[in-house]
Amino acid sequence: MTWRRGPIGGHARIGEAVGQDACDPRAPRLSVFGPGPAAAAGGHAYTGVQAAKHGKGRDDKAQVQFHYDVSNAFYALFLDPEMVYSCAYFRDWEADLATAQIAKLDMSCRKLRLRPGETLLDIGCGWGGLVCHAAQHYGVRAHGVTLSEAQFDFATKKVRRLGLEDSVAIELRDFRDLSGIEFDKIASIGMFEHVGLDNRDGYFRHIRSLLKPRGIYLHHAIARPMKATEKKFRKGSPEFRALVKYIFPGGELDHIGGSTDAMERNGFEIHDTEGWREHYGRTCRLWTERLYANREAAYREAGEAKTKIWLIYLAGCALAFERGTVGIFQTVATKRARGASGLPPTREDLYA
């Protein structure tokens, strides 16, 4: 079957690839992860401990590597040339993925108000897209950290290929191990989803400790709509259990109020929050179409079952963002200090 054309265009015959109407809005939600056509996916489940709290049995490195170390070649089959694995920014809905991802990197740098000579920390730097872009176009000294060995290898080679060794450093380490250093600006783009709700206060507290007074922090994360109570919000759904079993072990989505509350509790002043939900719907739709188009190569690289799991995952994400059952926000905050924040009086320059 063909998934139905959404409000911003695009289509892919994903149902045909996975053997059921997995992308039909009328189909059982994520039933492919249970009994049925994808039952063979059992061998592709995460088998480690799914502990909630950091320091109490939670193995963040193993969980991150389960998701990202499928192989760099696999991700290259659906990502843009810069290997940016987070929401793109479409100045118009007809822009191609590569153009929209460069626009996202540039918008992120502008929101951070980067200046030549400043220091930037990118937490969960992925394949090095932001740190390299910031060093090349804004003249900063960028430091990226990741727990994925595949990403570290790729990003390190990219830095050398671009001749950025003097301005970009990539480390294979947990950012919580960083201490005794402060950065002018810090970005967390598509990383917070891995942290877990029980660890969010510690996350923001440590980020604050690494940020200079009045330094800018850019928080870019997927969020779910809040429920009537926190208890109802935290109740796990079948979709969530499938997601942490097969795709994102240890992952949890906050609501935007929970994230901004936690930032304020831990010494940040919130300035701007911008929703990019439709941008991520478009991004995931393009990712799905690209992976489907390259599915035979993906079968050879990662196996047929895992590829089908990912097709369903990406298609499901596209539909979720398009329908509004999940969202994504960029939040600009500064390390709280007395007096002026140092930000300009308006944001006109960001959208000029």
Residue 253 backbone dihedrals phi, psi, to 5 degrees: -105, 130
- Classified as helix, coil or strand, 183 is strand
- Classified as helix, coil or strand, 79 is coil
The catalytic position among 87, 132, 284, 317 is: 317
Query: Would you give the DSSP letter of residue 19?
Result: T
The structure tokens 């804004």 sit at 138
Residues 347, 337: Cα–Cα separation, whole Å? 21
Residues 17, 37: Cα–Cα separation, whole Å? 11
The CA angle 79-305-39, to the nearest 5 degrees, is 135
Residues 80, 75: Cα–Cα separation, whole Å? 9
Residues 155, 158: Cα–Cα separation, whole Å? 5
Our measurement of the distance from residue 155's CA atom to the centroid of its chain's CA atoms, rounded to an integer in Å, reads 16
Residues 58, 103: Cα–Cα separation, whole Å? 35
317 is catalytic: yes
The CA angle 246-157-165, to the nearest 5 degrees, is 130
Task: Give the residue among 37, 6, 7, 10 at the shortest CA–CA distance from 22.
Answer: 37
Catalytic residue set:
317
